[in-house]
Amino acid sequence: MKPVIALVGRPNVGKSTLFNRLTKSRDAIVADFAGLTRDRHYGDGRLGEHEFIVIDTGGFEPTAESGIVKEMAKQTRQAVAEADAVIFVVDVRGGLSAQDHDIARYLRTTGKKVLLAANKAEGMSDSPAVAEFYELGLGEPHPVSAAHGQGVRSLTEAALEGYDFGEEEGGEPDPDAPIRLAVAGRPNVGKSTLINTWLGEERLVAFDLPGTTRDAIHVPFERHGQKFELIDTAGLRRKGKVFEAIEKFSVVKTLQAIADANVVLLLLDATQGVT
C-alpha cells in the first residue's frame, strides 16, 4: 500500500500550494485568503520510484466548538488518522501564533510521525524566524518554499524515511507472492458474503445494509496450492452521491485496493441489473 502524508496547519499557510507541488498538479485551488480549502483533498505524489498519497486539509482550529470550522477540524482529524506521516505547515513570515501552539499540542497526542514545514522561507533558511518554531516542540523545522519548490524534496524524503515500500516496481516478482484479488462493486451487492463463501466461514461482517464495509479488508486464502489475498472493498457509488467524510475515505481506500490488485472482480446485483 502507498504511504499517506497529511498536510495540516492553520489557514493560509500554503498547504494547498505544497499539495500542488507534491502532486505536480494544480488540483488544489490556491488563493491568498484564508479558508479556501474545507474538505480533505487527495492526490498522488512520487519521489523517485516511490509513490505516495497526499491529503490537503482546510485551516485547522483544534479548539473549534461550532460551525463550519468545527466540521473542518473533524476533516483534519480524519486525515491525521489516515496518515502515516503528518506535515505540519507553518508560515515563517507570519510568525508563530497561538493557533500553531494549539495544533502542535494536538499533534503531540496522536502518536503520529510529524514533520514541521516552515513555509514561505525564501532566503530565510538561517533566519531566527525559522528557529522560533522550535518552540512548538516538534523537532527541527524544515525551511521550505512551496511556491518555488525549495526544500520540498528533502522534506518529502524525511516524511517517507523508514516506510517499507516492499518490492520495488520493476523488480523480480516473488514466485510465492499471493495473487491479489479485489472484489469491487456498489454498496450491498454481496461482496463480503461472496468472500465468506469462498472462505467457508464468517470472516467478514456481512449485513443487509449499505456501507457495512468501511475499509479495504485483506484476507489470505489458498485453493489447490495457489495462494490468494482476497480484498473486500467498500461499495462504490457515483461521485455525486458520496457525502459523508468517512465514505469519501472508504472510496479512496477502495480505489487504492483496485490499483494494487492483480485481478479485480466486479460484482453486480442480478435483481437490479446494471445501473
Higher pLDDT, 97 or 253: 97
Q: What is the mean pLDDT of residues 57-65?
A: 82
Angle between helices 15-23 and 152-160 (to 10 degrees): 80
Is beta strand 113-119 parallel, antiparallel or unpaired with respect to 141-143? parallel
Average pLDDT over every residue of 29-51? 66
DSSP-assigned beta bridge partners for residue 117: 89, 142
Q: How high is the pLDDT of residue 174?
A: 67
Write phi, then psi, for 11 (nearest 5 degrees). Answer: -60, 145
Q: What is the grid cell recorded at 98?
A: 497561538
pTM: 0.61
pLDDT at 91 over 90: yes
How far apart CA 57 and CA 1 sit, in angstroms, is 21
pLDDT reported for residue 201: 66
Closest CA to 90 of 4, 15, 5: 15
Cell numbers representing residue 22 in the block: 507534491
Kindly list the structural domains of the chain, giving each domain's residue range(s) and its CATH number in brackets, ordered by start. Answer: 4-160 (3.40.50.300), 179-266 (3.40.50.300)
Confidence at residue 75, expressed as pLDDT on a 0 to 100 scale: 82
DSSP structure string for the chain: ---EEEEE-STTSSHHHHHHHHHTS--S---SSTT---S-EEEEEEETTEEEEEEE-PPP-TT--SHHHHHHHHHHHHHHHH-SEEEEEEETTT---HHHHHHHHHHHTT--EEEEEEES-TT-TT-HHHHGGGGGSSS-EEE-BTTTTBTHHHHHHHHHTT----SPTTSPPPTTPPEEEEEE-STTSSHHHHHHHHHTS--S---SSTT---SPEEEEEEETTEEEEEEE-PPP--GGG--SHHHHHHHHHHHHHHHH-SEEEE---TTT---
C-alpha grid cell, residue 199: 472462505
**By C-alpha distance, which of 158, 211, 216 is closest to 182?**
216
Give the position of cell 475499509. 215
Strand partners, 88: 8, 116
Q: Are 86 and 5 in contact (CB under 8 A)?
A: yes
d(Cα 158, Cα 165) in Å, to the nearest integer? 15
Least confident of 31-45, 58-72, 120-134, 213-227: 31-45
Give the tens place of pLDDT for each residue, 165-216.
775 455 566 677 889 999 988 888 888 888 888 888 655 544 444 444 445 6
Separation of first and last alpha carbons in the chain:
30
